[in-house]
Structure 1
Amino acid sequence: MQDDETTRRSTIARALAAAACALACVLPARAQTIQLMVGGVEKQIYLPVALADRLGYFREQGLDVHVLSDTSGGHAEDGLLTGSVQGVVGFYDHTIDLQAKGKFVQAVVQFSQAPGEAVVVAARRADAIRSPADFRGHALGVTGLGSSTHLLMQYLVAQGGIRKGEVTIAGVGAGDAFAQALREGRIDVGMTTEPTLSRLLKAGDARLLVDLRTPEQATSALGGIYPAACLYLSSPWISTHREDVQRLVNALVKSLRFIAAHSAQEIAAQLPAEYMAGDRALYVSTLQQSKSMFIADGVMPADGPANVLRVMRVAERAVVGKPIDLSRTYTTEFAQAAR
């Protein structure tokens, strides 16, 4: 009887172990928590991360991603360097700028091949300011000093033949803060993104001056394809978290493919109302016009990094006179392997 009881218990134990193993294969492991800082998650240029979050693509990859939002990419990179966030959704130029300062980060998935930004002039100044050559003596607004909008504005100033000191560039924030600065006369010209841009144009508060929202427009103004929005991570973190990086990139490439395969109307339907800034029809219209800036496979354009570096040197950023190894500023490995 004792042998029979022992056999019965052994059989039950094996059955329970088998059931536990089967359950473990079905249920996902505890999600890895990752914090991403975005330079304004509601901006259309950062649409891929907003969609990946809203559509559950991060959760599908076994990740618990917390998307944090800040007004400026310049502030976001500080969080990455201090370790308070694991990744930044911002512009690719930050990876080059940081290398010039001895900090190594890499873009692991490229969202866009154009800035998705535009320069507008306040309606009251539109007759006097018709191109960057007319910026002399005026106040120019960007999201923040050290930001990508600051870099691009510096480039346009230099291209207009204007020297440092002949203009004032101020960080005025994004969204409503930017619009208020333009309306109140604190700036005469500024660079901003959608949906703020089209709201100002529709209201008659501003006129379009330099358009960088599509690859064709960016190539004309910036001398070539200009990779902008991306996800970048610190190089040491990438080397020790390769599986997590691949899962992040899988989710974001899936989001980019969703953008490529769906209309602006269908995309907008997945977003919260506050992203529309009170005008859904205008949001859809502007997204349809600039959707071509997104890269469906997330792979860095071959000629893009060199053009960004050239723009930065013209703008007299920290990279001037310093050797830059562009191969260490991005990788296509994870995007090419994305499922």
Structure 2
Amino acid sequence: MVLTAAEQGVRRNDRPCTVCGGVHLSQDHWKFMADMPQDPIDLIDDLTKMGFYKSRSLSIAQTLNQAELRKQLFLKMAGRGNPKRERLCNDLIQLAGGLDAAFAAAFGPKAGEFFADANRISNATRRQFLRNIAVGAALVTLVNCAPREENRQATTQSAAGGGAVGENLEKTTLRVGFIPITCATPIIMSEPLGFYQKYNLNVSVVKMPSWAAVRDSAIAGELDAYHMLAPMPIAMTLGLGSATFPIKLASIENINGQAITIANKHRDRVRGPEDFRGFKIGVPFPFSMHNLLLRYYLASGGLNPDTDVQIDPVPPPDSVARLTVGDIDAMLMPDPFNQRAVYEGAGFIHMLTKDLWPGHPCCAFAASDRWIEDHPNTFRALNKAIIDGTGYASNPANRKEIAAAISSRQFLNQPQEVVEAVLTGNFEDGLGNTQNVPDRIDFDPYPWQSFAYWISSQLTRWNFLPEERANYEEIGQEIFLTDLARELAQEIGQTPPTEELRVERLKFDEFNPEQASAYVKQQVDKFGV
């Protein structure tokens, strides 16, 4: 039998790895690459047949987004081979809130589009693309083999004030990703206000530039847990828009807290959903309550969201700039960016989403199935800390304190008066009116199963989720950890609901979760889309 170069290398280098104890390419991982096939297609074929690349490694590598690739290439070029210079560049990027934000600050809001265009017109070939996947999968494999001693350090400590007394925490130093929006208030405020420390956790909240970056970082294992849009755990677990990656929605971060904001140039034109025809509208992510609620609203006016308007994903931090320069006509965004648009004189608030669905879910705290399985006690403590913080944020008397704690550059990087206007509900709407809406945003950690049912129904309605896969009860029970959230809330003295399902009352109809399939048909029959 004739062996390939790769197979011969395995025979020569089948000693245990000095890092993780397993057997892979060689003890130092890289020397063996010298006599690997040079053609990337042959390279991948050889390594896949030999079992070095797990299917998960390849799928993760394939889903790494262009933004991350741009960042790594930029760091290599800017670093000029100097690790210290590269680290400095990376620190500056993080300070700006991501590479796209850094370029937007330096070159204007269209910088991200320029780099995307540059990527599209490059001379990348299929072989170069496959080589990138091969390298990416190798990096994922090597990261997964790194020593994890910090994960194995258990601690038996007590937490004050209803905390996790006597729990053995598998890991105490954690990184939790967040998008700088008021929906993330419980996750963000729990660092400066001490809720993580209360449960014996040392948590760093990590600012992320976009929801795509959150998704890709989750898949790549770069974070311990995440601030996510409520539909994202469903989409990722079912493999909608990305590789299948099981995620659990542990608790809800906020209810309400979004708005439809329209550019001032359309001030005298828009009265209802039918007036949005021909608009370009920004939403933060395809799998978001923002997108689903926008579609629900537009369809009520007889518009087909897929043909009568253009809905574009826009990272929330870029939304006001895009509205200002006319790249979008309107947006359904999380706050504080709707209020920031009013503050900057760029737009006016057309409608709060609480008027479309009072008490609707928006964002959530989530973690991967694998991380939860590896860190069950830590996950429980972390979720309890956030549920505790959410309860604190639900009290209107605490909102000004919270606004002061989270407005700084480290977190939201917004004027405190803008954040305070959102959290207190005392705000200018951009039309000359001062509004007082105390529940413009609210905080309730309970993940109703009926939330999961409605989200799944709308994913089906708009062809994100095939109807034959829309098993509402199974999706809800598998992904939304309602029972655990209730248990943890009770342990810290909250009084969560005992029911899992309720009838949800929206602006144009009622949603009975026990008749979810019929609801979709009723919507289409009533509005024509």
| Fold similarity call, TM over 0.5 | yes
Deviation at 1:239, TM superposition (A): 2.6
Q: Which residue of 1 aligns with 2:144?
A: none
Q: Which residue of 1 aligns with 2:283?
A: 142
Q: Which residue of 1 aligns with 2:335?
A: 194
Deviation at 1:192, TM superposition (A): 1.8
Q: Which residue of 2 aligns with 1:8?
A: none
Note the alpha carbon deviations across 1:170-225, whole angstroms, 9 max, x for none: 233223x211111111111112222221122244421222311x4xx2426xxxx4
1:297-316 mapped onto 2 (5 Å cutoff) = 298-316=445-463
Note the alpha carbon deviations across 1:135-183, whole angstroms, 9 max, x for none: 22221122345555344434433333223233222233223x2111111
Letter in 2 for 1:246: R
CA distance in 2, matches of 1:178, 1:62: 37
Letter in 1 for 2:208: D
1:246 pairs, out of 377, 380, 397, with 380
Q: Which residue of 1 aligns with 2:314?
A: 172
Deviation at 1:291, TM superposition (A): 6.1
Is the counterpart of residue 103 in structure 1 residue 241 in structure 2? Answer: no
CA distance in 2, matches of 1:254, 1:76: 24
Question: Does the CA-based 8 Å contact 2:170-2:377 persist in structure 1?
Answer: no
Deviation at 1:118, TM superposition (A): 0.8
1:251-270 mapped onto 2 (5 Å cutoff) = 251-261=385-395, 262-270=397-405
Letter in 1 for 2:417: A
Question: Does the CA-based 8 Å contact 1:109-1:300 persist in structure 2?
Answer: yes
CA distance in 2, matches of 1:291, 1:75: 32
**Range moving further from structure 2, 322-331 or 69-78:** 69-78
Between Structure 1 and Structure 2, how many residues are aligned?
Answer: 304
CA distance in 2, matches of 1:255, 1:123: 37
Note the alpha carbon deviations across 1:218-242, whole angstroms, 9 max, x for none: 426xxxx422211111123223321
Q: 1:208 to 1:316 in 2, by over 3 A?
A: farther
CA distance in 1, matches of 2:250, 2:158: 30
Is the counterpart of residue 33 in structure 1 residue 173 in structure 2? Answer: yes
Letter in 2 for 1:88: Y
Deviation at 1:287, TM superposition (A): 0.7
Is the counterpart of residue 271 in structure 1 residue 406 in structure 2? Answer: yes
CA distance in 1, matches of 2:423, 2:169: 37
User: Which has the higher relative contact order, 1 or 2, with Cα contacts under 8 A spaced 6 or more apart?
Assistant: 1
> Helix, strand or coil: the match of 1:84?
coil
CA distance in 1, matches of 2:196, 2:157: 19
CA distance in 2, matches of 1:335, 1:26: 21
CA distance in 2, matches of 1:153, 1:140: 9
Deviation at 1:284, TM superposition (A): 1.6
Question: Does the CA-based 8 Å contact 2:260-2:350 persist in structure 1?
Answer: yes
CA distance in 2, matches of 1:29, 1:195: 35
Question: Does the CA-based 8 Å contact 1:111-1:228 persist in structure 2?
Answer: yes
Question: Does the CA-based 8 Å contact 1:109-1:232 persist in structure 2?
Answer: yes
Question: Does the CA-based 8 Å contact 2:249-2:365 persist in structure 1?
Answer: yes
CA distance in 2, matches of 1:25, 1:330: 29
Question: Does the CA-based 8 Å contact 1:263-1:288 persist in structure 2?
Answer: no
1:117-128 mapped onto 2 (5 Å cutoff) = 117-128=258-269
- What runs of 5+ residues in structure 1 fail to find an aligned partner? 1-23
Question: Does the CA-based 8 Å contact 2:171-2:375 persist in structure 1?
Answer: no
Q: Which residue of 1 aligns with 2:99?
A: none
2:423 pairs, out of 258, 268, 287, with 287
CA distance in 2, matches of 1:246, 1:127: 51
Question: Does the CA-based 8 Å contact 2:181-2:335 persist in structure 1?
Answer: yes
Question: Root-mean-square deviation (CA), in Å?
Answer: 2.8
> Helix, strand or coil: the match of 1:263?
helix
**Range moving further from structure 2, 151-160 or 117-126:** 151-160
CA distance in 2, matches of 1:291, 1:100: 36
1:34-73 mapped onto 2 (5 Å cutoff) = 34-38=174-178, 40=179, 42-73=180-211
CA distance in 2, matches of 1:26, 1:277: 34
Note the alpha carbon deviations across 1:55-100, whole angstroms, 9 max, x for none: 2222332223221122332331221122122222112111221233
> Helix, strand or coil: the match of 2:206?
strand
Identity %: 18
* TM-score normalised to structure 1 length: 0.79
Q: 1:44 to 1:319 in 2, by over 3 A?
A: farther
Letter in 2 for 1:120: T
- What runs of 5+ residues in structure 2 fail to find an aligned partner? 1-155, 160-167, 426-436, 493-529
